[in-house]
Amino acid sequence: GAGVSQSPSNKVTEKGKDVELRCDPISGHTALYWYRQSLGQGLEFLIYFQGNSAPDKSGLPSDRFSAERTGGSVSTLTIQRTQQEDSAVYLCASSLVAGGRNTGELFFGEGSRLTVL
Amino acid sequence: GEDVEQSLFLSVREGDSSVINCTYTDSSSTYLYWYKQEPGAGLQLLTYIFSNMDMKQDQRLTVLLNKKDKHLSLRIADTQTGDSAIYFCAELGGTGRRALTFGSGTRLQVQP
């Protein structure tokens, strides 16, 4: 597709359930990022992929959060045993790495809004 | 770790200039960015500046960088109602994490 695509756009779940959020980056973009945007907060970095590997997982808030990327394309963010504090908009972004150096121009999806009841 | 701070809210009248400020802590920052988020939409890159520059102008947008004070600003000339949005400052560090660190965003409200 032309842009970064995320699904679902909205997800309401009950506390304790697992959720999966999907991101389809721009074709050819090798870097993929997950951020979380909570009400009144900035963007909180979660994890970054270069290809299929994740050099930086330092932002994942707990071991309930995991992410994978397969085929250097689609990524899935999984939250196990969701808690109310997980409610947020989860934003995915991708970027084209030029010459092995990431100039940081990120292209964002519209986000997946997660509500945990 | 890296930190980026912005004021939360700015209100201006249509036609006036808007200045949104940002401070950051990472002295090894290589690039600094301004992103815009309109209601219900993802973030879009507005402009960016390399750390060895002190000014960049792009139509109505002027970015000023004071590297000594680690201060970045975005000036929007002749602000229009369509400029109402949240503006995020972000920085890319020169070492370690290869992902942008964002500020909390400044909500710009343009009064007609």
Residue range B87-97, pLDDT digits in tens = 999 988 766 66
Q: Which chain B residues have a beta carbon less than 8 Å from that of A55?
A: 98
CA distances from A75 to A16, A80, B41, B72 (A): 23, 16, 20, 33
> B77 with A35: CB under 8 angstroms?
no
Q: What pLDDT band is residue A98 in, cutting at 50, 70 and 90?
A: very low
Q: B78 burial class (0-12, 13-18, 19+ CB within 10 angstroms)? A: exposed
Site from B43, B52, B87, B91 to mutate, A interface, most A CB atoms within 10 angstroms: B43
Angle at the Cα of A28 from the Cα atoms of A78 and A53, rounded to 5 degrees: 45
Query: What is the mean pLDDT of the segment spanning A22-35?
Result: 93
Residue A21 has pLDDT above 80, yes or no: yes
Q: Do A48 and B31 touch (CB under 8 A)?
A: no
What is residue B95's predicted lDDT score, i.e. its pLDDT?
65
**Encoding tokens for residue B15?**
């036609």
Q: What phi and psi, each to the nearest 5 degrees, are found at residue A12?
A: -110, 130
Give residue-wise pLDDT tens across range A55-92: 888 899 999 999 999 888 999 999 999 999 999 999 99
